[in-house]
Structure 1
């Protein structure tokens, strides 16, 4: 039988420890994480968080793997099961998760670099869809402050970063 992906349930906030201990045993694992901006002690900082808290995907051969050894690995509680059957995940789903994590993390990491003060941006959704504005500054975790000309008057309005894109020159 060939290698397959399985899901293990980890102890709370010990996914990284479990992953390290599995790696020490020569077991390949995948722990999907995403980067988020948070305010920590009054400062905006980028942190990595678990996409599926307390869950880890492992890639083992069911015939060769010592499931009791994996279960007793520090940081792991048990395998995820449906009845008596250990949960399996297809290779396709794991690849999709990896791709999604990479694209989300790249997008969030580049948000600060994407717009500079004075850049022209276009609003993609909402009641101001299609209008152009001037990017002024980041406004918190996931928002930006824009200067929008409404009735010949410059107005500062906060928009979600996902609602704006760089205007084509």
Structure 2
């Protein structure tokens, strides 16, 4: 059994677009080959990217390091062999070839990468309360006013009841699309 103190993070180079498949392959190979005491976890660093286009907000996950997977493992001949021969892995970053073992990431590098991918969702400044009258400043309902009926703080959304053609209509919009009056 490997010592927990020998655990280090290494960077694998993969075919671009196959990062998640390599992560899954690595985890299943570690289990099927009895290497759970040597290969602990694989991570594909991703970050949420929000884009606003034509008044619509689109959020998607983008790979921070396309073509790379981080793996936490104890470096031994057996674990090195299992990881290196996982389908989709083209090699270790920091290995000089000819069968040499790779250099691990520095603890500060690992802490920085892991903290950036484990951050909570963005915090929105909630300046509205249910019942507040707001004016819609952008979008199809720009210029209309009405009370806030619902607040979704997690996604930064409001529901506002507006009078359209003599009829009350509820619309959902981003915090940034409304201002308190």
Superposition CA RMSD, Å: 3.4
- For 2:52 and 2:87, how far apart are their aligned partners in 1? 31
Q: 2:12 aligns to what SS in structure 1?
A: strand
Aligned residues: 119
Q: Secondary structure at the match of 1:87?
A: coil
C-alpha deviations, 1:66-97, integer Å up to 9, x for none?
32321221221111135345131023321221
What does residue 131 of structure 1 align with? none
User: Does the 8 Å CA contact 1:33/1:51 hold for their aligned counterparts?
Assistant: yes
Aligned runs of 1:118-157 on 2, under 5 Å? none
CA contact (8 A) 2:23 2:42 kept: yes
Q: Which runs of 5 or more structure 1 residues have no equivalent in the other structure?
A: 118-133, 140-160, 162-169
Structure 2 unaligned runs (5+)?
Answer: 31-38, 129-133, 140-175, 177-181
In the alignment, which residue of structure 1 is the partner of 2:125?
Answer: 114
Q: Where does residue 74 of structure 1 map in the other structure?
A: 87
Which of 83, 89, 97 is 2:96 aligned to? 83
Cross-structure match for 2:44: 31
Instruction: Check if 1:46 corresponds to 2:46.
Output: no
Relative to the length of structure 2, the TM-score reads 0.52
Q: Is the 8 A contact 1:10 1:55 kept in 2?
A: yes
Give the strand-richer structure, 1 or 2.
1
Larger Rg computed on CA atoms: 2
Is 1:101 the equivalent of 2:117?
A: yes
Q: Any conservation in 2 of the 1:116–1:136 contact (CA below 8 Å)?
A: no
Q: 52-61 or 24-33, which moves further after superposition? A: 24-33
